[in-house]
Structure 1
Amino acid sequence: MTAPKKAMVLAAGLGTRMRPLTNDRPKALVEVAGRTLIDHMLDRLAEAGVETAVVNVHAFADRLETHLKARTGAPQIVISDERGELLETGGGLRKARPLLGEDPVFVANIDSVWTQDGVPAIDSLAQAWDPERMDVCLLLARLDRTLGFDGAGDIFMSDEGALTFRGEAPSAPFAYMGVHICKPDLVDDGPEGAFSLATIWRRLAPLGRVHGVVMDGFWMHVGDPGARDEAEAKLAEAKAG
């Protein structure tokens, strides 16, 4: 399969857990190891061949747009303006549909950074993508190779890569680490306004249409100031080692 050339980067969140670092900026502009969270993600996407990134904006939207305009090189940035209403992941994707087209796209949160071993994480996701068998393919991390994720795991995966969600189970071996590929039309029947993509995934998973691939590397969820500090220390350790 050809890897998607377009991505949706979800950067419109309020970042309340990241305060006080987000008192004067969006979460996307919080720095980890000298680079903003959104630049970490955009650079990863560019390395995977993404040519255009649609970025949604809400809190401190002007400041984020100014930062994005100053970027050079790939990917080209297109803004999806959510200043009027925060739409969550599903609503944000639905609003951006005219900018995304009909081909499969990467969708990425901005609160994930990672180190890589072996196949680059986003490349492994693209290699696993098969639109005949799946509508969504999630990039996953092993719980023992994460920082900043305080849950008991989200997901079980079959030998064929099909996913089921933890539900009432006490734990699950994998966590969704913030990047996936999907067919953008899966949000076309979503409700007006704000809604979560996870509601669609949970509907599709029993049909065998949600798959995943486990990344080679170490994932850091940067959700609050403490997690930011831990991520910086881990990245410094990886760079030194």
Structure 2
Amino acid sequence: MAAMEDAPQSPKRITRAFVLAAGLGKRMRPITATVPKPLVEVAGKALIDHALDRAAEGGIETAVVNVHWLADLMEGHLSHRVGGPAIVISDERAALLETGGGIRKALHHLGSEPFVVFNSDSFWLEGPRPNLPRLIEAWNPQTMDILLLVAPTATSLGYEGAGDFDMDADGRLAWRGEREVAPFIYAGVAILKPELFEDTPEGSFSLTLLFDRAAKRGRLHGLRLDGQWLHVGTPEAIEAAEARVRQSAQVP
């Protein structure tokens, strides 16, 4: 029998995800007065289906989706999805808990292993290698508490802000300074350890709290997106994103 150390290592696997889908989508009004933002269609498909399809392609087997605004529409749509991942609803009808509080409420569905977090409007054009498998492959729990998918600020379509992060040669992220412009923007996909939520407040809080803590410990890392991130934040951005999708489909 071959020695244990001679056996090939199994590929890294992360099988659970949390999809943030409870927000009010205020910047997308008037569309989101009657349609929750995750159900807004871009290139013929709801934003949340773009995210869930990417999750399935990356090996995610179970996705927990939180709902609050127009929750019945969200649940109805998700109940008719065909194919993976399996969907578990985390009901926030009683109170909107923000990004961190929503995940904390649903930790019992996510288990004790690291999991992926998706913004439900995370939308990008893939490069030669799909980005979620790249993110999972890059994950190293010995050196990282959080790994973010980050996109270049300068080439992200529909984004006009000053960026979020600087990144060093080892992939460690640092928040941009006040009045500075940073080269990378958070692209809405991350890997987190569930134990990071152990000393977080009850109720509503932002994931930024955990990003801050990890950055101060030197354990907030980033992976540069391979492709182009499309920021679909306003009604006007939908048309621009769809035009870019059409353009990419015509490139041989």
TM more than 0.5: yes
**Matched positions, count:** 241
Q: Match for residue 62 of structure 1?
A: 72
Q: Which residue of 2 aligns with 1:90?
A: 100
1:100 aligns with 2:110: yes
Matched, 1:229 2:242: no
| Superimposed CA distance per residue, residues 178-207 of structure 1 (whole angstroms, 9 cap, x where no aligned partner) | 000010221221111111111221122121
Structure-1 separation of matches of 2:155 and 2:93 = 36
| One of 10, 15, 28 as aligned partner of 2:25 | 15
Contact 1:118 1:216 in 2 (8 A): yes
- Determine the C-alpha separation between the residues in 2 that align with 1:98 and 1:119: 32
SS in 1 for 2:102: helix
Contact 1:13 1:88 in 2 (8 A): yes
- Report the residue type matching 1:193 in the other structure: G
Q: Is the 8 A contact 1:124 1:215 kept in 2?
A: no
CA–CA distance in structure 2, aligned partners of residues 189 and 206 of structure 1:
16
- Structure-2 residue corresponding to 1:167: 177
Runs (4 or more) in structure 1 with deviation over 6 Å come to: none
* Residue in 1 that maps onto 2:155: 145
Where does residue 83 of structure 2 map in the other structure? 73
Distance (Å, rounded) in 2 between the aligned partners of 1:147 and 1:207? 32
Give the alignment's Cα RMSD to 1 decimal.
Answer: 1.0
CA displacement 1:59-97 (0-9 Å, x = unmatched): 110111010010111100000000000011100010011
CA distance in 2, matches of 1:25, 1:162: 38
Residue 186 in structure 1 maps to residue 196 in structure 2: yes
Q: Distance in 2 between matches of 1:196 and 1:45?
A: 23
Letter in 1 for 2:213: R
1:156 aligns with 2:166: yes
Distance 2:205 2:224 in 1: 26
**TM-score when normalising by structure 1:** 0.97
AA aligned to 1:129 is W
Structure 1 stretches of 5 or more lacking a match? none
CA-to-aligned-CA distance 1:25-77 (integer Å, 9 cap, x gap): 11110000110000000000101010000000001101110100101111000
> Are 1:216 and 2:226 counterparts?
yes
Unaligned runs of at least 5 residues, structure 2: 1-10
Deviation at 1:169, TM superposition (A): 5.0
Q: Which one of the candidate residues 192, 196, 206 is aligned to 1:196?
A: 206
Say if 1:26 and 1:60, in contact at 8 Å, map to a contact too.
Answer: yes
Task: Work out the percentage of aligned pairs sharing the same amino acid.
Answer: 53
| Corresponding residue to 1:130 among 129, 140, 161 | 140
* 8 Å contact from structure 1 (residues 7, 54) kept in 2: yes
